[in-house]
């Protein structure tokens, strides 16, 4: 019997009560892992659905816990599907835990989806944004900064070149807006103070970008794909740190079609130049020149182990992903 490990423990984004009531019979076993039925993180719900689909095919599906991962337990698997990724390891245990996680998924005998190399590529935003730019995709103007080799003159020249009165600074190895900072009228003094604060939190590389006023107005269009096929999209805006979700019906259809075409082309490039992805989310934001007509959406980021809010799945739940995982991994 083949064994598939599902890497979980993000401790993020619980499923809705509606989802629980619909699937409670197949979720009850999660209690043995300390998961209470009034708070089921999305990754545990995905694991449960993969296990359910695996049983139909005679496949042994087991959980692997990212925060205490060992090479021995990984080597007991034929293949591993990652929901937990290196960013979570860093946020939970700094670079020691991050390096341990990345080394394990590199050394394991199991086939890892997505591979350690692919995870490294996406975590390294400098690498993948540079790749997008080289391929001709629109991205926001970005200055990549190594905090051990800060050149304030180069940074200030970037700010002056783009006439930036307001900037965004975010860690390369980060998520959920941790370390995300907005600076009004940036100066060398303000930047130096911020950089020192980020270094104390173990951040090594950061991105500096224009603050785009229209970003909050229009939000992000998030497009979700399985094996290169579009499944659904939704829009996310931010209000005082809280995410506000809108279904794809709220998005201008012509704009959505344009985003879909761009994302589909991008994924074909990634599949050709790197590897095929079971799942991926391509996020678009607006506007490079703060265009109030919203004509200049650009690729803001990609996620290959994305947080999946079940409420935005348009009724699909996690079945299509689970079926794709069983088919692709084993």
* Edge-to-edge strand list for the sheet holding 143-146: 143-146, 205-210, 166-171, 181-184
- pLDDT at position 288, please? 58
pLDDT of residue 293: 47
Cα–Cα distance for residue pair 296/137, rounded to 1 Å: 12
Q: Which domains does the chain have, with CATH numbers?
A: 3-114+318-329 (3.40.50), 124-137+214-304 (3.30.470.20), 143-211 (3.30.1490)
Whole-number pLDDT of residue 43 = 95
Write the pLDDT tens digit of every residue in 252-289: 888 899 999 999 999 999 999 999 999 999 999 886 55
DSSP 297-319: -EEEEEESS----GGGSTT-TTH
Name the H helices within 28-151: 42-56, 71-75, 86-107, 116-123, 125-134
Convert the pLDDT of each residue in 117-140 to its tens digit.
999 999 988 899 999 999 999 999
> Which residues of the chain, if any, have pLDDT below 70?
175-176, 239-243, 287-296, 311-315
pLDDT of residue 290: 46
**Average pLDDT of the chain?**
90
Give the per-residue pLDDT at 289. Answer: 54
């Amino acid at each position: 019997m083949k064994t598939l490990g599902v890497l979980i423990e993000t401790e993020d984004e619980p499923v809705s009560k509606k989802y629980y009531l619909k699937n409670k019979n197949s979720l009850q076993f999660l209690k043995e892992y300390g998961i209470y039925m009034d708070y089921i993180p999305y990754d545990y719900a995905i694991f449960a659905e993969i296990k359910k689909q695996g049983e139909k095919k005679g496949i042994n599906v087991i959980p692997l816990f990212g925060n205490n991962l060992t090479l021995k337990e990984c080597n007991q698997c034929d293949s591993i599907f990652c929901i937990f990724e290196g960013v979570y390891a860093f946020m939970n245990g700094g670079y020691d835990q991050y390096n341990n996680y990345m080394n394990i998924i590199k050394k394991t005998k199991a086939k890892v989806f997505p591979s350690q190399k692919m995870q490294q590529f996406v975590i390294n935003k400098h690498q993948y944004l540079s790749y997008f730019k080289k391929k001709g995709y629109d991205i926001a103007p970005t200055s990549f900064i190594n905090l051990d080799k800060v050149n304030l003159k180069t940074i200030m020249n970037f700010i002056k070149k783009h006439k930036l009165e307001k900037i965004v600074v975010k860690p390369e190895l980060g998520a959920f807006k941790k370390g995300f900072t907005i600076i009004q009228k940036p100066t060398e003094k303000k930047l130096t103070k911020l950089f020192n604060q980020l270094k104390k939190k173990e951040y090594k590389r950061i991105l500096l970008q224009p603050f785009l006023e229209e970003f909050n107005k229009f939000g992000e269009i998030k497009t979700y794909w399985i094996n290169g096929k579009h499944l659904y999209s939704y829009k996310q805006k931010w209000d005082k740190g809280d995410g506000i979700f809108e279904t794809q019906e709220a998005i201008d259809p012509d704009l959505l079609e344009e985003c879909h075409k761009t994302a589909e082309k991008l994924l074909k490039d990634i599949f050709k130049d790197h590897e095929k992805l079971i799942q991926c989310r391509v996020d678009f934001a607006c506007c490079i020149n703060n265009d109030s007509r919203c004509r200049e959406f650009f690729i803001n980021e990609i996620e290959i182990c994305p947080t999946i809010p079940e409420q935005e799945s348009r009724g699909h739940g996690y079945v299509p992903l689970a079926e794709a995982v069983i088919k692709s991994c084993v």
